[in-house]
Amino acid sequence: MTTTESGSSDPDQRNRSLPVIENFSRRAAVKGAFATLGAGAFVAAVSPLRQASKNSSAAEFLQTHYTELSPEQKEGVLARLEAEAKEEYDADVTIADDRPIPGTKFVYAINLSVCNGNGKCVEACHKENNHDRDTNQSYIRVLEMPKGTLDMEQGTTSYSGVVPKGDKFYLPVQCQQCDEPPCVDVCPVKATWKEEDGIVVVDYNWCIGCRYCEAACPYHARRFNWKKPEVPADEVNPDQSYLSNRIRPTGVVEKCTYCLHRTRRGRLPACLEACPTGARVFGNILDPSSNIRWILENKRVYILKEELGTKPAFFYYFD
């Protein structure tokens, strides 16, 4: 078969100096009808979008980047988010805007000789940070490692049975709050950044959900909201902050924030408080009298994947 040219199917047409108007308009009408039909079918095909747009307001759509919000705008945003939590989760929450305390740089350390892999930190994180109940999400993963190696390839995150096992040690991994965070570098829209106290945060209302940061992170610290988080009203932690544990929107990335809604108010991270063995130590490294400072100065500490040059603010040691 051959593809025909304009009008060449009608031999008369080519010989005339003017196009045949009736034929032209008839074909135009047919094409117009097809185009309309196609457009209509397209509108029908993407109709689920209307459902999606119902869940997001114009104010949310137009909201600017966190760092560019004026104090009044910020207030409006926080009030809107609180109202949303009420509407969608039937929970009365307060969403604060906790800022870094000057002269603070938070650092974490875990004593691997003491950690026994009971996973209480994983659970505490799950509750504290309003994680999706369905997927049992948490920012912490614990690897069960055979003694005699630090090679994570030998470990497993899906261990079960009574812990601790004699020939194993346990390695909890969460966001390392790197000083050279690859996840921050790769973000195309600056939706994630490092704050003055060392905490890497995400503006959940600016993230476009490309998941480039998730690919860039060497510690599997980031999580994506594949679906709307489900938290029953009575289980919602109402004590929230904009940059940390407020219930996240669908389709954005989230991560451990060293519980900044607690730590910036002088409390300890939830995972530390929940740990029954006392393996976890947290504090301000700039404070010479802090516990964490003593540990870093006196213990032989190591960091994960040092060769990548990410400079974690998270340390491990054995007694």
Q: Does 182 bind ligand SF4 (CB under 6 A)?
A: no
- Convert residues 274-313 into a mask of x (bound to other proteins by CB under 8 A) and - (unbound): -------------------------------x--xxx---
Check residue 33 and report its DSSP letter. Answer: H
Q: Does 188 bind other proteins (CB under 8 A)?
A: yes
**19-78 positions binding other proteins, by CB under 8 A:** 19, 27, 31, 38, 41-42, 45-49, 51-53, 56, 61, 65
* Residue 52 contact among other proteins, ligand SF4, none, beta carbon within 5 to 8 Å by kind: other proteins
Q: Tell me the torsion sign for CA atoms 40, 46, 48, 49.
A: negative
- CB of 85 or CB of 143, closer to other proteins: 143
- CB of 114 or CB of 186, closer to other proteins: 186
Name the token pair of 144: 């069960």
The length of the chain in residues reads 319
Q: How far apart are CA 290 and CA 283, in angstroms?
A: 7
* Residue 155 contact among ligand SF4, other proteins, none, beta carbon within 5 to 8 Å by kind: other proteins
Nearest approach, Cβ of 255 to ligand SF4 (angstroms)?
Answer: 9
Q: Are 168 and 146 in contact (CB under 8 A)?
A: yes
Nearest approach, Cβ of 44 to other proteins (angstroms)?
Answer: 8
- CB of 168 or CB of 223, closer to ligand SF4: 223
CA distances from 223 to 112, 122, 174, 209, 220 (A): 25, 14, 11, 11, 8
Helix (H) or strand (E) holding 200: strand 200-202
**111-140 positions binding other proteins, by CB under 8 A:** none
Contacting range for ligand SF4; rule: CB under 6 A; set: 31-39, 80-88, 160-168, 205-213: 205-213
- CA dihedral 81→87→92→93, nearest 10 degrees, is -20
Q: How far apart are CA 179 and CA 198, in angstroms?
A: 7
Instruction: Give the interface with ligand SF4 as residue ranges (CB under 6 A).
Output: 186-187, 189, 191-192, 202, 207-213, 253
